[in-house]
Amino acid sequence: MIKFLWTLLFAFCFGWMDAQEFEDFTLEKEVKIFLEKNFSDLKSFNLGVKVKNEDQQLYLDSIEYSPWFVADFNDDGLLDLFVQGYKRKTNESYLIIAKEDAGVYELVSVSPTKVSGDLNIPFIEETKDGPLIVYKQYASEQTVTMKNGNEVRFPKNFNTYYSLGFLRKDTLIYKFDRLVEYTSTPNLSGLRFIQMHSYCQFGGCADFKLKIDSVGGMILQNIKNTELEEGIFKAQCDPDLFRNLLLRLKYLHIPKNEMKFGEPTEDHVNTLMISFDDGRVVKVMDYNRAGTLGLQCIYDYLEEIRKTTLW
């Protein structure tokens, strides 16, 4: 059942004081004081959505909302805090992850890789996999038509008033200590190999290829500007790192087998090829190394494997 982000979740009680603090919030002032006390970057953060025109205000007035939401977003038994507000007229969302140590939190900015339109609203969907963040984006640019002799204003994208010109939605989940795109159908096929080529079209950054096979065997080709000398190196992936790589690949959201992101004029480029046991081959051309949050997760993890391996 989908609920708005701004509906306060009354979660179950338990003994940790930092998580209990989130649960006990009943006033916006309490949340505001907590944010100002713990995060210097949020001293100018105001709870609530900053609307830009009457259409958006009418839409927001049609729903009841509270600008915070409490739930266990990372399935660690501790309640976390999700806040929606604005700084300097720009709407922003944050996930505040509670840690076991009292007074210790992780602040995570929540946003999909592509943001468009002029009204972006996070919703919460509660599922068996945990709470999901459904990030909806709207464009409320209007067009004027005449109907029965009267001017009628509609969003350009749709002729339904409250649609506000719906553009896109991104469903995010907090996994692997970060936000990634949610997939309802995890990949169950085994890995044959994964290969990443990372380089800069105009030079300057590390240019290398890394290939990892089904049992963790690795081949690294240093082409130029890498920490190690140029050449081809072989090693075995650390078992824990390899197991965690397979988990990330299992949960990687892959809507198509061939995907291209960014503009060809971008300097930093990643190409990715993933071959599975069932014969499926996924190819990615990412001109800005930020095609999706899930892909960024894979890129960063392959970089970690490359840099921590003794070649």
Question: How many Å is the maximal CA-CA distance in the chain?
Answer: 77
71: its two tokens:
């739930």
pLDDT in tens, 215-239: 999 999 999 988 889 999 999 999 9
Q: Rounded CA gap, 154 and 162, in Å?
A: 9
More confident residue, 22 or 272: 272
What's the confidence (pLDDT) of residue 16?
39
Residue 300 has pLDDT above 50, yes or no: yes
Residue 298 has pLDDT above 90, yes or no: yes
Average pLDDT over residues 45-65: 73
Helices 239-251, 293-308: crossing angle, 10 deg rounding: 170
pLDDT in tens, 193-213: 999 999 999 988 999 999 999
More confident residue, 252 or 65: 252
Average pLDDT over residues 180-186: 93
β strands within the chain, DSSP E: 2-4, 46-47, 68-71, 80-87, 90-98, 105-109, 119-127, 130-138, 142-147, 150-155, 166-175, 178-181, 191-200, 207-213, 217-224, 231-236, 258-261, 268-276, 281-286
Residue 105 has pLDDT above 60, yes or no: yes
Contact in structure between 198 and 207 (CB atoms under 8 Å): yes
Range name among 49-63, 136-150, 286-300 with the lowest pLDDT average: 49-63
pLDDT in tens, 146-178: 777 777 766 555 445 455 677 889 999 999 999
What's the confidence (pLDDT) of residue 251?
95
Q: Domain 191-308: state its class.
A: alpha beta
Confidence of residue 11 (pLDDT cuts 50, 70, 90): very low
Which H helix or E strand runs over 28?
helix 28-38
Q: Report the SS3 class of residue 120.
A: strand
Residue boundaries of the structural domains of the chain: 2-181, 191-308
247 CB-near residues (< 8 Å, 6+ apart): 176
Residue 115 has pLDDT above 90, yes or no: no
Average pLDDT over residues 129-134: 91
Residue 255 has pLDDT above 80, yes or no: yes
Range name among 5-14, 56-65, 178-187, 251-260 with the lowest pLDDT average: 5-14
Mean pLDDT of the chain: 86
What's the confidence (pLDDT) of residue 95?
96
Average pLDDT over residues 110-133: 88
Residue 23 has pLDDT above 90, yes or no: no
152 CB-near residues (< 8 Å, 6+ apart): 144, 145, 146
Partners of 145 in the beta sheet?
152
145: its two tokens:
């038509």
pTM of this structure:
0.82
Residue 119 has pLDDT above 90, yes or no: no
